[in-house]
Chains A and B, each alone.
Chain A
Amino acid sequence: MSEARHNAWGRQWALGALVFLGGFEVMVLEIVGARFLQPFFGGSFYIWTSQIGVVMLALALGYAVGGRLADRWQQARPLGMMLIPAGIFILLIPNFAGGMLDAIMERYAVATPIEVSADGGGQPASELIGELPADVLEGTDSGAPSEAPTEPAPEDAWTEVPPFWKKMAPALGSAVVFLLPCFVLAMISPYIIRLATQQVEKVGTLSGTVYAASTVGSIAGVFITAYVLLDHYSNTTLFRATGWLTFGLTGLCFALDLLWPESSKNESDSAE
């Protein structure tokens, strides 16, 4: 009896830790990712739009798929197996992502012909500078140097990113790097709800608790990463650490099946 209770207790904590750390990891990836993408796509707020949108997409897909897989497998071990490639992916982000992001950025840059509007682009020209009396300028002269060419020199086209891709390229970059790991991590919550469910009458309480634990983990992930981790550790270190933490989650999944198996479910059912 007491062993069964001990078993149930261990199982509950393992399930809770999985859910909490899964939520934590997703937000570490989102926040570190925003910093990571900035050198490639610029300091625009489209970076944040992309990160939020892509992570939400990953969550939606992960929830939907994770719930279905949980119904099919009903064991923690397959979830642990799926977390392994996710962990490897996260671990290697510093190695492969740079080249891919560079390629995405370059791909959507196009050569734009020179078009300088001499009239100031429809704006009323500033006559003030050209027509200032010389004495106001304290001894300076507004006259152009005599050797200045009178015609503009011929020029090559500019390479620029068109407005549409200024918005979409960061989203694509963000998806390439963060969609897959966040998708797998998002499977954890519905999967755990399935594993932890013992009585249908308590599913409301249970799923509420799982949502809350996962979200509290995410909140911790946001603030700890932004306020503490990024001040002390490099992006590379943080990606590596998140990768190893994912392997830790795999370990937890295996421990769930081996140390605290679900067989205790019936006993605790009868105990209640």
Chain B
Amino acid sequence: MAGIFQKRIGFSGVVLLLALAWSVQGQVRLRTSSAYNQITVEDTGGYRLLRFNGSMETRMWLPNPLFGHFEYTEYFQMPLIFNPKPQRMLLMGLGGGSTVRAFQHYYPDIHLDTVELDPKVAQVAKQFFHVKETPKHKIHFSDGRQFLRLNKTRKYDAILMDAYTSNQFGTHIPFHLATKEFFGLAAEDLTEEGVLVFNVIGTYDDWRSDIVGSMYQTLKSVFPNVYHFQASDTRNIVMLAVKSKEPLTSTTLKNKVAALRSARPKLPKFFGPRVARIRAQAPKSAANAGVLTDDFAPPGGLLKSKKR
């Protein structure tokens, strides 16, 4: 316990130091605050960074905005494996728009709805991070759960979850977007073969592994199949929860990717290597993790590995 505590202090200390170092080096383009966030945009070493309350949300390579993003955002494209030509997708949490930029460039045919709580974030994303509202992309200012709750007509082929709240100590999942009830609501708004992607900040066996375990269990309590990808550059594990009951095998995965490649010959270069990081087995920490519910989602470390 003390070890974890020290590690957390150590980590946030390092982050603070790095933040300090960057803020000394970088050129601050914008410093503003909204009802929800203190927002900073800065340019440093060819990159543009977006920070909420000190936590880095987005990184973008200035000479080419399609590069420099965090690798985990690329896994939001994985639903294409299950449906090469989706009609409509829902993104929760705009941030600096890495996912929106990628979709608008690589898959301009897909209709994308973005739900963002903070209007100021959208303003900054448009002004500094090349996010566009088009007939194919609308930004809704709402709480993610309310949005799903009020949506009675639209079905999504994929729901992409990247909604976090942050402070200087890091980012936290709003608990009402991570419970069994929430995923039930999301599953209702997904098409037959729909997929929910959830970006979980954590690791398999160390830092925040308890959250990874309980997120897996919670998704598994609603979706028949859950796969996951560990980002190689940051401590993110992206979970892919699939409504289809048929589990993937290496043969079906190969066939699905082949079908995707013929439907979309111009997939981004990174797509193949990202698919290759897929895992189907439950993360180790899921063994003694519980399911998060609206009634019980402990705020002290979103489920401290307690079986209920």
Listed in ascending order, the chain A residues whose CB lies under 8 Å from chain B are 35, 38-39, 41-45, 94, 105-106, 109, 114, 116-118, 120-121, 123-126, 128-129, 132, 136-142, 144-145, 147-148, 152, 156, 158-161, 226-227, 230-236
Contacts and interface: CB of A to CB of B under 8 A. Distances in A.
B300 interface: yes
Given A35-B299, A142-B105, A160 B304 contact: no
B35 A41 contact: no
B140 interface: yes
Nearest to B88: A153
Given A41-B143, A118-B134, A161-B142, A129 B295 contact: no
A203 B111 CA distance: 70
Contacts of B144: 42
Given A148-B109, A161-B150, A39 B66 contact: no
A44 B117 CA distance: 8
Contacts of B31: none
A120 B131 CA distance: 9
Given A38-B175, A43-B165, A152-B136, A106 B130 contact: no
A94 B126 CA distance: 42
A45 B35 contact: yes
B133 A121 contact: yes
A141 B152 contact: no
Contacts of A140: 105-106, 266-269
19 contacts: A38-B174, A43-B174, A44-B143, A45-B36, A106-B150, A120-B134, A126-B126, A129-B130, A132-B64, A136-B64, A137-B64, A140-B267, A140-B269, A145-B108, A156-B154, A158-B140, A160-B140, A231-B298, A236-B295
Given A43-B143, A45-B36, A116 B127 contact: no
Interface stretch (B176-184, B202-210, B231-239): B176-184
Contact of A120 (B36, B101, B133, B295): B133
Contacts of A234: 293, 295-296
B132 A159 contact: no
Interface in B154-186: 154, 165, 174-177, 179, 181-182
Given A41-B143, A231-B298, A129 B66 contact: yes
A141 B143 CA distance: 35
Contact of B117 (A43, A118, A124, A236): A43
B220 interface: no
B138 interface: yes
B108 A227 contact: no
A264 B66 CA distance: 82
B288 interface: no
A148 B134 CA distance: 15
Contacts of B131: 126
B151 interface: yes
Given A45-B35, A140-B269, A232-B298, A148 B108 contact: yes
The 10 closest A-B pairs by CB, nearest first: A42-B143, A126-B130, A152-B135, A234-B296, A43-B174, A123-B126, A159-B150, A231-B298, A234-B295, A39-B176
B46 to A, nearest CB: 14
Report whether over half of chain A's contact residues are helix, strand or loop; otherwise say mixed. loop
Contacts of A152: 135-136
A213 B12 CA distance: 38
B86 interface: no
B126 A121 contact: yes
A105 B149 contact: yes
Given A43-B143, A139-B266, 14 more contacts: A35-B175, A39-B145, A39-B179, A41-B146, A42-B144, A45-B35, A114-B138, A120-B132, A144-B108, A144-B109, A156-B154, A226-B299, A231-B298, A234-B295
Contact of A137 (B66, B136, B174, B295): B66
Interface string B77-116: 0000000000000000000000001001110110000000
Most B C-beta atoms less than 10 A away, residue of A106, A148, A231: A231
Contacts of A45: 35-36
A230 B127 contact: no
Given A123-B123, A148-B108, A161-B150, A231 B299 contact: yes
A129 B105 contact: yes
Contacts of B174: 38, 43
Nearest to A156: B153
Contact of B152 (A94, A118, A159, A160): A159
Contact of B65 (A39, A42, A128, A142): A128
Contact of B300 (A123, A137, A231): A231
Contacts of A105: 146, 149
A117 B137 CA distance: 10
B294 interface: yes
A94 B145 CA distance: 20
A262 to B, nearest CB: 43
Nearest to B153: A156
Contacts of A124: 127
A6 B304 CA distance: 47
B298 A230 contact: yes
